[in-house]
Structure 1
């Protein structure tokens, strides 16, 4: 049964072998495929295409391997065309391309399939290829030059075991390559215009640009009679195809910026290769060498030299059709040229050791400044809906620091759709944009980082065909906030607003390629959301069982530099607060989900024992004019007046402290406080004001129930109290304010905790993602499961339907049967409609 289970979980693999006047090699290859592979025969389809050999090859192959599916082409389509012809007729979920002069190892198929099944973001598997005797390397890695020529790195070297580790590569050799069948079809297969040479380079290049990985797997091993298939192709024709196809691949696949520099230099270099290879005198037509008589006699040119010039001529001939291909590739790409530089290995390598050629290479690199042509900084746009000014609230602060940290490696724009944009100085661009103007910024960027309602303002990003890599910052569970914030509105409006915000968040969760949240609690919450929306697919899970490549924790951060006073703030500066008073700081705004009322009662009780206690509310008016004042703010002012605390023990800053001055207020405080009610919003909230307390070394007093309460308790950096308990809160404040030994110990413990929360540290997941951005595994195009459920025959279908009928009758009687039948008919109708 174990073997049966294993067989049923293996995809059908269609192995494709192209023959052109090499029947003996082909028959040897086909025999190994049918007899020596460790892969179930019923899961293996072997297809051989005879490329109009005209030498009796078809008859020989049919007689020697009758069980192999033979397709006879009416013309010689080349390697690319022959493979595509077979692929269109294949039934497997995996296509395996094998040269007819290659011999696969026993585990060749099974090892490659294992990679495709375990790593859903791998679109193709490149086999390890050795020479026929297994001593020297044919393929273990691919390189690509800036002028478009792919090459096999380490070819000809002794296989000493140093290439037995799997790794990502730019391309695999077409002589032994596995590709997901659906993906191969989505890319229209190999480019048949190449005929032969570089069609495998071009395919791997396109796969990588679209976000797929090509994985070199050394356990998938083959042996190759090097260039046996090229016996009838002259070196001049080989040069011609290499030169022409390199230009075609370069033209199709590089960005506009790269193409503008690289293509003219590549064409010039192709000419120099031709003259250097043919040892042609490049000065023979100089006017100064005319002599007494004009010499118009023919000049002999070697075919190897002519190849480069004719290649350029035919590249020009191909341009009309290549232009359309280029437009398709550029529209579908999700990765930059810079992303692929590590896979190119040595992009600036000259490749040919000819002295005149090397001189030209260096001159062109310098003249066209090609050293940095593939190193263009990645473009990242961070979009917020909040005001970006000297006075910034949480969303803008978070967006600001994301832009700041990312700008160290990338070209970054911080874009706000808020009317208030007057930022501090920065090393990155900060611009205001109306919603209708966001499209231009999104088009400019390689990566879009957004928060809040921004996705709704760029409908094109939500489209299923959008290729932009999108990072959604969902640190703010807006729908949970709205449950509390909307208490003051009528029930109908509240329900409508909640449904709208939930829809906004669902749209982000369905579209994003990477998500950021603020705590492990939030991460658990958002994982549930993602699961309910169907994002936690088997493929995504198999690619990363932790799912951290999709959803990672990025809390609010702290500056890496300790706070330094730049001016007076509270003590000795605010009327009623002396330099020796004990200041309790409420940093941030007063919103409906907070509980400042219990805090006022606690301060009132503590003031009866200590008349030097002072509570200071840092900001009552939100810097974003679009955020209205909530009812809790007025309730707080009213209770303070009734208790006789206002301007005596309790003080309100009715504006908002500029972000660059907040340290002065923090340094004047003796402890920081945050109090809230016990409800769902609290459970998943992340109180950013507590981080400012840590930054300035303030002991923290907080209500229990959120992630920071857990931190304060576990790290011993303050006191945690129950919700709505003024006595416990008064006791906690007294301890951190007047127990000097306890307060000093809290400050000592805060120091190492603070280091964990610097912006550079907390943003590490975003930094790493932006270094290698890709679509989420479940958003890759053509990513259907490799192994699908088998189709039931008529008898099995009837048995299944009878069992379902009994189940529905038991569950709900005839009504349940009718309901289920209606639903099934609707699904079938939908499938037929989609099929059209």
Structure 2
């Protein structure tokens, strides 16, 4: 079969975009996925921000890709601090925070830059995230853009809890969403700086939801651009079966609610305490005892940080209500709604 030639990238010459890939001991991922990024992102500057790796991934990038700029962080501060530290050294109009386990596609950038150029209120953008291992299915981490229910549980178009949809073109639109996946996360530099970046207390997981909510509280818009596609391995850094991930997700969800949600926060938190207890019972039936311990640790950590979180909440001028539904748990487990549509 003769390959179909791809039209050249056409990106606004006035828009400077920087692709920043956070790395920690990820030489194999860089070997596998950097070629697509370099090949299909010729209009962007590419950076690898290294979180104090102990393998030879930095040496590999320097030798193989001298055109890529290396930023060497002094410690492994996770996703949040890693990007906060690195982006201070990047000069661009738009930051693209790209996981090291993502394969990009030809012409993935122009639709996103067009959105930023045409809509000044668009602060954050996510492309279509498909599964690298099953390329006709959405990927768990972000799918076709994220939403949140009243109790702080995130879900996506194309993925609700463990149900992941096949991509049949049902989400090939461009539309407003509530949160964009940190796996491939575009944000205006000026907005990132206005928000003081990610909350480093999160370390990793859900910090992008917190950032999007803070942007929303300031009146900015987050968009999903379904005409741009990338493929994500997912779980390459921390798999869903890891109790550490359970701890971070449960704790950081409570952090996000307390800081950003409108209304009487203690009622929401009490309700979450009950719902998280039900989740612990589910893990008990599945004999996943380490995950039960992770939920308990998440709550203890949350209560220890509660005074600081309340202080952060009080510094926000206005908490805004943004819930796609009252309870995604009710819709999924009781009403049987397994897909977004």
- TM-score of the superposed pair, with normalisation by structure 2: 0.86
2:137 match: 136
The DSSP-based 3-state class of the residue aligned with 1:350 is: helix
Structure 1 counterpart of 2:196:
188
1:21 pairs with one of 16, 20, 25: 25
| Superposed counterparts of 1:122-133, under 5 Å | 122-132=122-132, 133=134
Contact residue 177 and residue 222 of structure 2 kept, 8 A: yes
Residue deviations 1:447-471 (CA, integer Å, cap 9, x gap)? xxxxxxxxxxxxxxxxxxxxxxxxx
* 8 Å contact from structure 1 (residues 14, 45) kept in 2: yes
Contact 1:149 1:242 in 2 (8 A): no
Distance in 1, Cα, partners of 2:88 & 2:311? 22
How many residues are matched?
A: 317
- CA shift digits 1:481-515 (9 cap, x unpaired): xxxxxxxxxxxxxxxxxxxxxxxxxxxxxxxxxxx
**Which residue number in structure 2 is paired with residue 250 of structure 1?**
257
Matched position secondary structure for 2:170? coil
Pick aligned residue for 1:238 from 241, 245, 252: 245
Say whether the 8 Å CA contact 1:27–1:64 is kept in structure 2. no
Matches within 5 A, 1:376-525: none
Larger strand share, 1 or 2: 2
How much does 1:32 deviate? Answer: 2.2
Partner SS for 2:244: helix
Aligned to 1:276: 282
C-alpha separation in 2, matches of 1:97 and 1:160: 27
- The unaligned stretches of length 5 or more in structure 2 are 1-9, 335-341
Q: Deviations over 1:635-670 (max 9, x none)?
A: xxxxxxxxxxxxxxxxxxxxxxxxxxxxxxxxxxxx
Give per-residue Cα distances to partners, 1:774-806, cap 9 Å, x unaligned: xxxxxxxxxxxxxxxxxxxxxxxxxxxxxxxxx
Question: Does the 8 A contact of 1:27 with 1:65 survive in 2?
Answer: no
Asked if structure 1 preserves the Cα contact closer than 8 Å seen for 2:30 and 2:57, the reply is no
Q: Find the aligned partners of 1:70 and 1:26 in 2 and give their Cα distance.
A: 13
Inter-partner Cα distance in structure 2 for 1:236 and 1:7: 42
Alignment correspondent of 1:539: none
**More relative contact order, 1 or 2 (CA 8 Å, 6+ apart):** 2
- Secondary structure of the 1:90 match is coil
Aligned twin of 2:4: none
| Secondary structure of 2:285's aligned partner | coil
Give the Å deviation of 1:301.
8.2
Q: 1:70 to 1:347 in 2, by over 3 A?
A: farther
Determine if contact 2:40/2:107 at 8 Å carries over to the other structure.
no
Alpha-carbon spacing, 1:352–1:270, altered in 2? closer, same or farther (3 Å): farther
Deviation readout 1:601-660 (Å, 9 max, x if unpaired): xxxxxxxxxxxxxxxxxxxxxxxxxxxxxxxxxxxxxxxxxxxxxxxxxxxxxxxxxxxx
The residue that corresponds to 1:322 in the other structure is 309
Over alpha carbons, which structure has the higher Rg? Answer: 1
Q: 1:234 to 1:62 in 2, by over 3 A?
A: farther
Matched with 1:484 is none
Residue segments in structure 1 that go unaligned for 5+ positions in a row: 1-5, 281-299, 359-836
Residue 23 of structure 1, CA deviation:
1.3
Task: Tell me the equivalent position of 1:65.
Answer: 65
User: What are the Cα deviations for residues 122-165 of structure 1, in whole angstroms up to 9, with x where unaligned?
Assistant: 11111111112531112102121222122233132110011111
Change (3 A) 1:263 1:46: same
- Separation (CA, whole Å) in 1 of partners of 2:305 and 2:108: 37
Deviation at 1:64, TM superposition (A): 2.1
Counterpart of 1:487 in structure 2 is: none
| Corresponding residue number in structure 1 for 2:326 | 347
Which of 232, 244, 251 matches 1:224?
A: 232
SS in 2 for 1:86: helix
* Offset at residue 237 of structure 1 (A): 1.1
Q: Deviations over 1:379-417 (max 9, x none)?
A: xxxxxxxxxxxxxxxxxxxxxxxxxxxxxxxxxxxxxxx
CA contact (8 A) 2:248 2:298 kept: yes
Q: Deviations over 1:347-382 (max 9, x none)?
A: 31117978xxx8xxxxxxxxxxxxxxxxxxxxxxxx
Distance in 2 separating the partners of 1:215 and 1:353: 25
**Distance apart, 1:114 and its partner CA:** 0.5
Q: What is the root-mean-square deviation of aligned Cα atoms in Å?
A: 2.3
Partner of 1:151: 155
Contact preservation (8 Å) 2:176, 2:223: yes
- How far apart are 1:7 and its partner, in Å? 6.5
In structure 2, what is the equivalent of residue 201 of structure 1?
209
Q: Distance in 1 between matches of 2:33 and 2:85?
A: 19
In structure 1, distance between residues paired with 2:73 and 2:204: 16
Distance across 2 between alignment mates of 1:46 and 1:153: 29
Structure 1: how far apart are the matches of 2:265 and 2:12?
A: 47
Aligned to 1:305: 292
- Considering fraction of residues, name the structure with more helix: 1
What TM-score, normalized to structure 1? 0.36
Quick one: structure 1 residues 351 and 107, their matched pair in 2 at CA, closer, same or farther if it must change by over 3 Å?
farther
Q: What's 1:214 paired with?
A: 222
Residues 236, 216 of structure 1: alpha-carbon distance in 2 compared, 3 angstrom cutoff: same
After the TM superposition, list the runs of 4 or more consecutive aligned residues in structure 1 that deviate by more than 6 angstroms. 351-354
Residue 36 of structure 1, CA deviation? 2.2
